[in-house]
Structure 1
Amino acid sequence: MTLALDWSDTSSIGYPTLFLGVLIGSIVPVVPTGALVGAAAAVAMTTPHLSLPLVLLVATLGAMLGDTATFAVARLGSTAAVRWLARGQRPERLVSVRERFTRRGWQLVVIGRLVPAGRIPVLLAAGAVEYPWRRLVPATLAACVLWAVAYALLGVLSGGIFDSPVVATLLAAVLVLLVTVVLNLVARWRRGRTKVDS
């Protein structure tokens, strides 16, 4: 038995690449994690090299570990996280954030994971207000499962349209980028409406 990776076997490269890419991208948002999941799902739909259930499992685990690491940094260094969160804010703002997490922390964690650029601020805020681990872990697990399924569906869709793994992967990446752009535009529009109403 050898410990070396078999570089000719796509699955021996694909799963670790997916896991590490999602893990790193969940901590430092430089890797397009949604595109990775969509591409892996597209490959799973068009080749026998990857399994869709395993793609979902690996993506969920990578996202979960990354999100809990991000939360842990804020939770363990909560004084610095509170200072970061409160910069330029009135003191009552932090009280408001704490109350929101008390009332609907589960929803905030799930929505933060699904909305582009929402995850890290939500996790940092949760850590800063010392949101309990016993509530964060199940909320994060649910959020990561929903996130992995949503982006994998884009890959499944592209894999169902095209038999070529290359074309399906490219289409999955394009679909993920389009969904991200649309979600960002909707979030910006809602923020604009909130300012107008207030």
Structure 2
Amino acid sequence: MNWTDPASIGYPTLFLGVLIGSIVPIVPTGAVVGAAAAVAMTTPHLTLPLVLLLATLGAAGGDLITFAIARLGGDAAVRWLARGQREDRLAGARERFRRKGWQLIVVGRLIPAGRIPVLLAAGAVSYPWRRLVPATLAACVLWAVAYALLGVVSGGIFDSPLIATLLAAVLVLAVTGVVNLVAKRRRDKAKERQGETKVGS
């Protein structure tokens, strides 16, 4: 590997960043994909198709490892995955998963903070691998395309790789914040409706 070639550093960094961030959610994987797409749009060092492929494979690999830990790991492993997750959210995910698992895998990957509860629920109900793998791949393709588009937009606005990368990261964070806010409001409204139903009964 030629470490003086930016591609030799960029591609492994993209793949490992998304893979690790999909297992241990401390790396902003969406921002990594958006930044890589912005670089691909403004320099010859990376190509967009390969960015999409590696982002998809890294995300899918991380999700499948997370599911394997949830399904095959012991109680300590599951508690480690569930750290920071609210118990009511986990319980709700398990119940919904029994009814529409495939759709939840796709939506959980696209919604910030939705992935871990869904994968834990999948492990808890022993969701079959033959269904999980294609659903995960489809979800990760959609996810990679969505965040790469933000990088493509920023790369189309600015010719400078640095500015395009920074704009892509800002766009990813802004979109994530908006999606989180919308999801929170929907959860709050659902709780209000449940409260009203209980009072009425």
What TM-score, normalized to structure 2? 0.87
- CA shift, 1:187, in A, is 0.7
Which secondary structure does the structure 2 equivalent of 1:117 belong to? coil
Corresponding position of 1:31: 27
Q: Which runs of 5+ in 2 are unaligned?
A: 195-201
| Rounded Cα–Cα distance in structure 2 between residues aligned with 1:101 and 1:188 | 20
Matches within 5 A, 1:6-155: 6-77=2-73, 81=78, 100-155=96-151
Deviations 1:29-52 (A, max 9, x none): 000000000000000000010000
| Rounded Cα–Cα distance in structure 1 between residues aligned with 2:87 and 2:111 | 24
RMSD after superposition: 2.0
**Mapped contact 2:94–2:118 kept (Cα < 8 A):** no
Flag the 1:158–1:33 CA change in 2: closer, same or farther, 3 A: same
Matches within 5 A, 1:153-168: 153-168=149-164
- CA shift, 1:100, in A, is 3.0
| Rounded Cα–Cα distance in structure 1 between residues aligned with 2:2 and 2:159 | 25
What TM-score, normalized to structure 1? 0.89
Which secondary structure does the structure 1 equivalent of 2:53 belong to? helix
* Counterpart residue identity of residue 133, structure 2: V
**Mapped contact 2:18–2:27 kept (Cα < 8 A):** yes
- CA shift, 1:131, in A, is 0.7
Q: Which runs of 5+ in 1 are unaligned?
A: none
| Rounded Cα–Cα distance in structure 2 between residues aligned with 1:32 and 1:46 | 22
Between the two proteins, the alignment pairs up a number of residues equal to 188
Which secondary structure does the structure 2 equivalent of 1:104 belong to? helix
